[in-house]
Structure 1
């Protein structure tokens, strides 16, 4: 059975920077929202560009948004959990199983009500579809056992996220700023959980390590 992966000192500062940046983006973006939570100038510009380019190909939107559909995301998540469980890497399997869905719950039941940006009949900021996809993708990136796998997972996730964003904006599900906020929220929360749990696990396993180094 494998324990929590060690967190090298050279990764602490980048992870902290990612969390801080994600929190700042999540909190500061709503300052640009018009009264009533309508689209910003940036939203209109991106929306116009997408619709003028792809509205004649509506099936493209459906294809692009598919990777964010809950059954697809949860299927990929389950495959990852089963893979690490089969390898008896229980820490990675557990983190992948719990962290992304916990972030989805925090966003759904807390964060959306902080900004209360109404779109159609639901609260749109931060985008729930985006939070779920990015939370799962971020978890996969963080627990990747090698730098090469981490880079590969990041590139795949980025490409899919761009496709998903185009599809959701094209269908009118979300404003672009909802997607940006959802991305920042998911990355910040999952990264913070990863750093905190990794550090806590190693302190628990080595309670006297700090005393020996002093």
Structure 2
């Protein structure tokens, strides 16, 4: 089954797991897995803030916005309007919902900011999920997924090392971004199907 074909199921599954994890860490500080990840990152990378900031770079808006715009442009050139809309709307929905709904709802703090789900992660994974959905099934999808996973691991190390987020914040952000983009794709696909003319009986 393709990623597009199973996007509804993926969205629901990721959303449920994200909510369960959020309930478990709501209002909490460092959990067991968070402590293990934090200790490993600090032992391995120490105080090399230059490297850690470099690892977090893919989450910056000036990196992600051009990627999303290029993806949308390519889709428009190929007359794939629903996919072009997904490239813009999917990440936007994920980021806004996370910032204005989920973070206040789960109320988990890291220093002086709300931390769950990680906004850095939501932005990055939302764009990566769009790229996976837009890619031709096969090698291209696999390559994007593998490269995306490597980038996500690197970003996770950077955010933990810089004290931006706990590991569980990143997991929650990943799950929500996937859920939001897949749900957006399902909504766009439904709208396209509804507007499509009914087949003629003649």
Alignment TM-score, normalising by the size of structure 2: 0.90
- Do the aligned residues in 2 keep the contact of 1:77 with 1:96 (CA within 8 Å)? yes
* Residue 10 of structure 1: how far off its partner (Å): 6.2
Q: Does 2:135 match 1:144? A: yes
- Do the aligned residues in 2 keep the contact of 1:25 with 1:184 (CA within 8 Å)? yes
In structure 2, the CA distance between the partners of 1:31 and 1:99, relative to structure 1 (3 Å rule), is: closer
Q: Does 2:156 match 1:165? A: yes
In structure 2, the CA distance between the partners of 1:11 and 1:85, relative to structure 1 (3 Å rule), is: closer
Identify which of 178, 182, 196 aligns with 2:169: 178
5+ residue gaps in structure 1?
A: 1-8
Q: Does 2:10 match 1:18? A: yes
5+ residue gaps in structure 2?
A: none
- Counterparts of 1:183-202 in structure 2 under 5 Å? 183-202=174-193
Cα deviation per residue 1:67-122 (whole Å; 9 max; x = unaligned)? 11111111211222222233333322222112211211111111111101111221
In structure 2, the CA distance between the partners of 1:138 and 1:11, relative to structure 1 (3 Å rule), is: closer
Mapped to 1, the partners of 2:157 and 2:39 lie a distance apart of: 11
Aligned counterpart, 2:69: 78
Alignment TM-score, normalising by the size of structure 1: 0.85
Of residues 154-163 and 51-60 in structure 1, the stretch that sits farther from structure 2 once superposed is 51-60
Root mean square deviation of aligned Cα? 2.1
In structure 2, the CA distance between the partners of 1:10 and 1:160, relative to structure 1 (3 Å rule), is: closer
The alignment covers a number of residue pairs equal to 201
Identify which of 111, 114, 121 aligns with 2:112: 121
Mapped to 1, the partners of 2:148 and 2:3 lie a distance apart of: 20
